[in-house]
Structure 1
Amino acid sequence: MTSPGVTRTTATAWSALVPLALAQFICSFAGSNMNVMLNDMSRDLNTTVHGIQVSITLFLLVMAALMIPFGKLTDQLGRKVCFVLGLAVYGVGAIVSALSPGLGLLILGNSILEGAGTALLIPPVYILVTMYWRGIADRARAFGIVSAAGGVGAATGPLIGGWICSSISWRAAFGFQALIIVVILILALRIKDPRPAEPEKPYDLVGAVLSGVGLIVFVLGILAADNNLWLCLVLMVGGAAVIALFFWWVRRREAKGKEPLLSTRLFRVRVSNLGMVTQNLQWLLLMGTSMLVASHLQVVRGYDAIETGIIFSAATVGILGSSLAAGALVKRFSQRSLIVTGFLITGVGLLLLLIVGSIPDAWAFAWGLLAIGIGLGVMLTPSVNLVQSAFPEEQQGEISGLSRSISNLGSSFGTAIVGTVLVLNVSGPHDQYVLALIPLVVIAIIGMIVGGFLPGRAALSPHSTTAATAS
C-alpha cells in the first residue's frame, strides 16, 4: 500500500537517504572503532583489555536485545520520531563515554545508551528505505548505499578510530561520534514519514521484556565461557528457556486475537527466514574478524592504533566497492548467487588470514581483509533486500526490528566467541589466533550452504510473501 504524501524514488527520497546512510555508518563505526583502542582505553580506565572487549560485546548485545521492542515502537510513535529520539539517546551516550573516568561509566554510555539509541534509530532506516523504493533494482541500489555505509563504518572504525586515538585521544573518537550525530539530526529534518503514527495501537510490554531478557541472558552465557563453564551452560539454557517462553506468550496473545510484539507470521516466509540467517552469519563474520585481527595486531604484535587501522583499510576498500555495485549486480545476478558468492569470497579471505598468521609482516593481513570486505559487500545488500521485500508496509516495523536484532545478535556472537577464545588458556598467542579463526571459517561454509537454499530470481518479487515462499 502506498501512503499519500510520499512520491517514491524522487529527489526528496534520495536526499532523505543521506541521513539514513550516515546513521547506519556511525552505528557500525561504534561497533568496531574501539577494537584498535584496546590498549589505550584499558590503560587510561585502569581496567583490562578483556574489560574493554566486554564493553564492546555488551554494546552489540543491548542493540540486539532492544531492536525488536523498539522496532515495534515505530508503529506507535512513527518512524521519524523513533529515528530522531534514537539519535538523541545515542548522542548523550557518546558524550558520557567520552567523559567516563572508569569502565562502569563507559559501559553506561557506550554499551547501554549508545546501544539503546542504535536500537531506536536503525529499524526506521530500513523501514523508510523499503517504503520509499518499491522496484527491486531501485531498492537494491538504496539498500546498497545503506549497506555500504554500514560496512564502511565497521571497516573504517579501526582506521578512523585509530587515527583519532593516536593523534588526539580515544575520548575524541566518541566526540567524533557525537559530532556526526548532530549533523544527522540536522539532515533528518527533511525526512517525511510515509505512514502516520498509530499511538492507539496496543503494545505488548510483556513480550518486549521476555524477548530482551532472553537474548541478553543467552549471550551473557557465551561471555561466561572463558572462566566458568557451568555458569555458561546455566545462562545459555536459561536464556533459551526465556526465549521459548516469549514464543509461548506470542502464540497465546495471537490465539486471543491480541496483537503480539512479534507476529509468528513473520516466521512463515521461507525466503525471509533464510535471509535472516545469512544476515546473522555475515555480521558475525564481520565483527568477529574485526575483533580478532585488531586484538592480534595490538596485543600480540604490538602495533599501535593507527597502524592497525591502516591495515584494516583493505577491508574498507573491499566493502565500499562491492556494496556500491549492488544495484548493478542485482540486475545481472540472482540474489541467491550473490549471497553464495559472497560467503565463498569471505571464506577465502579467512583462509588467507589463517595462512598469514605466522608471517612477520603484518601487511600480509591486508589481502585476507580485502577479500573479506569484497565478500561481505557483495552479500550484505541482497540479504537485506530479500528480507525487507518479503513483507508489506504494515509489517515493516516488525520485520525491520526482527531483522536488525538478528543481525546485531550475529555481531554479538562474533565478538563474544572471539573474545572468549582469546582469553582461553592455550599454549600461546598464535594458537589463540588460529583457534579463533577456525570457527569463523566454518561459519562462512555454513553461510554458503544456507544461501544455496534461497530461491532464484524468478521466485522473488517485492512485498510478495507468496512469491517469497516459493522454492
Structure 2
Amino acid sequence: MTAKSAVTRDGTTDTPARGGTRPAWLVLALACAGQFMVILDSSIVNVALPSVDRDLGFPPAGLAWVVNGYLLAFAGFMLLGGRAADLYGHRRTLTAGLVLFSASSLAGGLATVPAVLVAARVAQGMGAALLAPATLAVINTGFAAGRERARAFGAWSAAGGVGGTAGAVAGGALTSGLSWRWVFLINVPIGAVLVAVALAALPRARTGRREPLDLAGAATGTAGLAALIYGVMQGTDHGWTSPRVLAPAAAGVLLLAAFVLVEARFAARPMMPLRLLRRRGVAAGNGMLLIFGGIAIAMWYFSALFLQDVLGYDALQAGLGQTPAAVTFVLTARRAAALLPRAGVRPLITAGAACFVTGFGWLSQAGVGSGYLTAVLGPTLLIAAGIGLTFPTLMAATTAGVPEDDAGTIGGLAQTASQVGGSVGLAVLTTAAGTATRAAGYERVFLIAAGLALALALTGLLLPHGRRG
C-alpha cells in the first residue's frame, strides 16, 4: 500500500518528492510522531517547573506562563495553521512546523532568563499549531475513506494519548537524571529526524496560482481565540467576575463575532469557509470535541493530581500510575479504528460515554486512605477505554466527507475545538475543585466529568445516521 497524491485547491497535483510513491506506513509513522511530539510537550514540562524556577528565578505567577504560553499559542494559532496546510501544502506546513518547534525548543533549552524561556514556549506553541493540523490533514488525504483511514486515525489518536501520559514520566526522568534543559533539548534531534522523513515521505505540491491568505480572518480569528482562552486562564486565580477575566473574554467574543462576519460577508477566500459548518457531522463533531476536551482534562490532569495530592505519590510515581491507563487507551483506540467502518459512530460514542460515566462515578468514591489497586486502577482503565473509543471516532466522523483541499482547515478546527474544550474545562474544573476540601474537590471534579459524558452521548444523537468516517 502506498500513500496517494492529493489535488490542491488551485487544481494542481501533489506529487512525490523524488518520483514514485512512498509507503503509507512511513507517512503514518511521520504523522503519529508529529502528534506524539506536540502532545508530549504539553505535559512534559510540568514536572520540570520547580527546577526551572530554581535556576532562572521567575517572578511570582510568572512560572505558569512556561505552560500557559505554549497552550495559548497552540490553541490560538491552530485554525491559521490548518488553513496554511491547505494553501501552501501539507509537506511545507508540516516541515515548517517541525523546524519552528525544534528551533524554539533549542532556544528554550539554552535560556538563561525567564523572558527568553517564555518567548521560546510561545514560539513552540506556534510551531505546534502548524504541525498538528498538518498531521491530521496528511492522514485525511493520504488514506482512503473507510477501514484504511479509520485505522490511521486510531494510530494517530493513540500516539497523542501516549504522548500526553508519557510527559510526566519522561519529564521526571530527564529532570532527575540530566537537567530540566533536556526536557526541551530532546526535541532537537527528534525534530531533525522528522524533518528528513517529511521531505522524503510526503508529496511535494507543484503550485501554480496560489490563493492569498485571508488576512482579516486570520487576524480576528487568531486574536479572538487567544483573547478568549487567556481570559479563561485567568478565572482560576482572579475569580470569574474579575476585570482581568471579563475584559479579555469579552474582547475575544467580539473578535470572534467579527471573524464570523468577515468570513460570511467580506472575505473573497475565507480562512474558515462557513459552508463547512453547514455539514451536520462537522458541526456536531466539533461540539462533541469541545465536550471531550473537558473529559480528557478530568482524566489525565486531575487523576494525576489526585494521586499526588490525596494519595501522596510523587510526580514520577503518578506518571507511572497512569501507565496502565495509557496502554489501555492505545489498545482501545486501535480496536475502535477497526470497529468504526462496521459499527458506525453512534454505538462507539455511546459505549465510550458509558465507560466515562461508570469510571468517573467509581473514581469519585476514592479518597484519603484509598488504595491504588482497589480505588484508582479500575476506574482509570474504564475512562481510558472510553477515550480510546471516542477520540479517534470523533476525529474520523468530523473530517469524513470533507473535500481534500479543506482537510487542513477541518483538521485545525477539530483540534482547536478539543484544545479550547480542554482549556475551558481545566479552568472550570479547577475552580470547582478549589471551592471544596481536598478530597471532596476531586469528587466534585469527577462527578462533573460524568455529567459531561452524558452531554457527549446526547450530542452524538445529532450526528447523521450511518456516519462511519
Does the TM-score normalized on the shorter chain lie above 0.5? yes
**Matched residue type, 2:110:** L
Residues 1:198 and 1:382: Cα distance change in structure 2 (over 3 Å): farther
The CA RMSD over aligned residues, in Å, is 2.6
- Deviation per CA, 1:204-247, whole angstroms, max 9, x where unpaired? 11111111111111122222223142322333222111111111
Distance 1:113 1:5 in 2: 29
Pairwise CA distance, 1:305: 2.5
- Deviation per CA, 1:156-209, whole angstroms, max 9, x where unpaired? 222222332333333322222333222212221222337544663121111111
> Among 432, 444, 463, which residue is 1:454 paired with?
463
> Among 116, 126, 129, which residue is 1:116 paired with?
126
- Deviation per CA, 1:306-334, whole angstroms, max 9, x where unpaired? 21110110221121111122332114421
> Among 381, 392, 405, which residue is 2:392 paired with?
381
Residues 1:158 and 1:71: Cα distance change in structure 2 (over 3 Å): same
1:235 corresponds in structure 2 to 248
Pairwise CA distance, 1:117: 0.4
Matched, 1:294 2:291: no
Runs of 4+ that moved beyond 6 A: none
Q: How does 1:333-372 map to 2 (within 5 A)?
A: 333-362=343-372, 364-372=375-383
Distance 2:127 2:118 in 1: 14
Residues 1:149 and 1:140: Cα distance change in structure 2 (over 3 Å): same
> Among 33, 45, 64, which residue is 1:34 paired with?
45
2:279 corresponds in structure 1 to 269
> Among 446, 459, 464, which residue is 1:437 paired with?
446
Residues 1:335 and 1:430: Cα distance change in structure 2 (over 3 Å): same
Instruction: Give the unaligned 5+ runs of structure 2.
Output: 8-12
**Matched residue type, 1:403:** A
1:93 corresponds in structure 2 to 104
Instruction: Give the unaligned 5+ runs of structure 1.
Output: 463-471
- Deviation per CA, 1:333-381, whole angstroms, max 9, x where unpaired? 2111112211221232222322113334345433332222111111111
Q: Does the 8 Å CA contact 2:365/2:443 hold for their aligned counterparts?
A: no
Q: Does the 8 Å CA contact 2:145/2:400 hold for their aligned counterparts?
A: no
Q: SS where residue 356 of structure 1 aligns?
A: coil
Q: How does 1:403-422 map to 2 (within 5 A)?
A: 403-421=414-432
Residues 1:62 and 1:321: Cα distance change in structure 2 (over 3 Å): same
> Among 179, 183, 196, which residue is 2:189 paired with?
179
Matched, 1:247 2:245: no
2:26 corresponds in structure 1 to 15
Q: Does the 8 Å CA contact 2:72/2:229 hold for their aligned counterparts?
A: yes
Pairwise CA distance, 1:420: 4.6
Distance 1:438 1:408 in 2: 21
Q: Does the 8 Å CA contact 2:6/2:142 hold for their aligned counterparts?
A: no
Pairwise CA distance, 1:145: 0.9
The range that moved more, 437-446 or 95-104, is 95-104
Distance 2:308 2:226 in 1: 29
2:219 corresponds in structure 1 to 209
The range that moved more, 317-326 or 402-411, is 402-411
* Bigger share in helix: 1
Distance 1:320 1:77 in 2: 32
Matched, 1:81 2:87: no
**Matched residue type, 1:243:** L
Residues 1:235 and 1:5: Cα distance change in structure 2 (over 3 Å): closer
Residues 1:395 and 1:201: Cα distance change in structure 2 (over 3 Å): same
- Deviation per CA, 1:415-438, whole angstroms, max 9, x where unpaired? 33344555x4x4533243334334
Distance 1:103 1:365 in 2: 37
Q: Report how many aligned residue pairs link the two structures.
A: 452
2:322 corresponds in structure 1 to 312
Distance 2:181 2:376 in 1: 28
Q: SS where residue 134 of structure 1 aligns?
A: coil
**Matched residue type, 1:451:** G
Pairwise CA distance, 1:155: 2.0
Pairwise CA distance, 1:58: 3.6
Q: Does the 8 Å CA contact 1:123/1:397 hold for their aligned counterparts?
A: yes
